[in-house]
Structure 1
Amino acid sequence: MGGRLRAPTGRYGGRSAAERQAERRRRFLDAALRLFGDTPGYRGSTVAALSQAAGLSTRQFYEEFRTLEDVLAALHLEVNGWAEQAVLDALATAEDLPLAERATALFRAYAQGVTCDPRRIRITFVEIIGVSPRLEEQRLARRARWVDLIRAEADAAVARGEAAPRDYRLAATAFIGSVNGLLHDWTAGWVDATLDEVVDELVRLLLGMLQPQGWCPRTP
């Protein structure tokens, strides 16, 4: 397929071409969340099956996307975007809280954002793996955003005297790996714990990283 087909222009049924295109794209992404995030999964899906699940034609698919991989890429970014926005909203309301309470708010928002629908976990941690170099680059880029967020929180805690001064690059990367692994295993039923217990454990890990044994917080 050399490129996407040209979508119709002009108003129809009181909606603009852009509005109709946005609705079609939304229907394809919603259908992809159902198929890729459950059964049969991304690798077991076809353009025809996705189009049928969306209630649209394959012609309409090619007006919006070139390949199924494009759909998976868009869905992966969207799922991560939902979780990131939930975290940013939580941090905005927890700005003046002590470190432990702020960290709890951060991880509760993230955990609830990615575990509220098991299909989001599968898109984020399972279906995206090993698809192509392009999607691997995208996955690592999104993970880097989470690492940067943790580093920024760590540096802010250092500035407030709540954390030990150090370079947190490696620690933040290792920590994000722990977060992703624990939430994936919890969602898969391999961890016998409540979500609150998972969040509490993540907070303990973060505080152990930021406040090592023998270090004393700086008095404000």
Structure 2
Amino acid sequence: MAGRIKAPTGRYGGKSAEERQAERRRRFLDAALQLFGDSPGYRATTVAALSEAAGLSTRQFYEEFRSLEDVLAALHLQVNDWAEEAALAGLGDMNGQPIAERATAAFRAYAANVTGDPRRLRITFVEIIGVSPRLERQRLARRSRWIDFICAEAAAAVQRGEAAPRDYRVAAAAFIGSVNGLLHDWSSGWVEASLDEVVDELVQLLLGILRPAGWSPADT
């Protein structure tokens, strides 16, 4: 009996074209996390070196990205997404709890995620700085997203009578700047404290913003 010719499926090695592309992209980002976040850093990495570290060719690199800046942009977003997911998971475990417990859980989860891998910390606070106007806009957009996160928690705390009612956007921006600066300095060894002590200090700072001197729940 004559054999039948199967219709092409677009699969190779058991994977679809989309799956292979996703795997290539992941390998480039994994290699970038190592080279950008450790040594030699973003500015000293070449397309050839990144491709070699990923075990892929430069031709495959240009099939996925236009430039190394595109890789850094994608990696910066990924690292921030991981940190945001960790903070949200920390909050999810504290449903119905007072703001102090919620803030502690969220920032402990965030800090553990960001500092657990020094390469992520470097991507977030060092390598992204001063690269280009485009990446500066992206960095500030992600910072704005964290400000929105703080403002949403503050608004919910106000509704529960746990915080003074006011516009928190400027205060939230100042607080996020403090978070970034303190975690960067702590990771650099400039601040002698445990991570729990750093988180506790940040929580106390946030609570001081939400509950200014002279305010009491009865004022809400």
* 1:163 corresponding residue in structure 2: 163
Tell me the residue number matched to 2:86: 86
1:150-171: CA deviation from partner (whole Å, max 9, x where unpaired): 0010111111100011110110
Partner of 1:95: 95
Q: 1:29: which partner in 2?
A: 29
Match of 1:216 in 2: 216
Contact 2:128 2:136 in 1 (8 A): yes
Cα distance, 1:92 vs structure 2 = 1.5
**Whole-angstrom distance in 2 between the partners of 1:160 and 1:11:** 54
Equivalent residues in 2 for 1:29-68, closer than 5 Å: 29-68=29-68
Note if contact 2:89-2:106 (Cα within 8 Å) is conserved in structure 1. Answer: no
Matches of 1:17 and 1:65, distance apart in 2: 17
Residue 3 of structure 2 is matched in structure 1 by none
User: CA–CA distance in 2 between the matches of 1:172 and 1:189?
Assistant: 26
Match of 2:4 in 1: none
Deviation beyond 3 Å, 4+ runs, structure 1: none
Is the Cα–Cα contact under 8 Å of residues 161 and 217 in structure 1 kept in the other structure? Answer: yes
CA drift of 1:10 comes to 2.3
* Distance in 1 of aligned mates of 2:179 and 2:95: 22
Q: Which amino acid aligns with 1:14?
A: G
Tell me the distance in 1 between the aligned counterparts of 2:108 and 2:218: 27
TM-score, length basis structure 1: 0.94
Distance in 2 (CA, whole Å) between partners of 1:219 and 1:88 is 29
Equivalents in 2 of 1:28, 1:198: separation in Å?
A: 33
Matched letter for residue 71 of structure 1: V
What does residue 186 of structure 2 align with? 186
| Deviation for aligned residue 1:219 | 9.2
Q: Which amino acid aligns with 2:143?
A: R
Which amino acid letter does the alignment assign opposite residue 183 of structure 2? L
- Give, in whole Å, the separation in 1 of the partners of 2:218 and 2:151: 19
Q: How far apart in 2 are the matches of 1:87 and 1:219? A: 30
Q: What is the match of residue 151 of structure 1?
A: 151
Deviations 1:90-113 (A, max 9, x none): 112212111111110011011011
Contact kept? 1:94, 1:102, Cα under 8 Å: yes
Give me the whole-angstrom Cα distance separating, in 1, the residues matched to 2:103 and 2:22: 36
Letter in 2 for 1:72: L
Structure 1 partner of 2:140: 140
Q: Find the counterpart in structure 2 of residue 4 from structure 1.
A: none
Mapped partners of 2:107, 2:92: distance in 1: 14
- Partner Cα distance (1:108, 1:172) in 2: 18
Kept in 2: contact 1:114–1:120 (CA 8 A): yes
Q: Which amino acid aligns with 1:98?
A: P
Residues 43-75 of structure 1, C-alpha deviation per residue, up to 9 Å, x if partnerless? 000000000000110011011101000000000
Give me the whole-angstrom Cα distance separating, in 2, the residues matched to 1:166 and 1:11. Answer: 57
Q: TM-score, normalised by structure 2?
A: 0.94
C-alpha contact (below 8 Å) 1:84/1:110 kept by paired residues = yes
CA distance in 1, matches of 2:154, 2:145: 14
Distance in 1 of aligned mates of 2:181 and 2:187: 10
User: What is the deviation of 1:89?
Assistant: 1.3
Contact between 1:162 and 1:218, CA under 8 Å: does it hold in 2? no
- What RMSD over aligned residues (CA atoms) do the two structures have, in Å? 1.3
94-103 or 71-80, which moves further after superposition?
A: 94-103
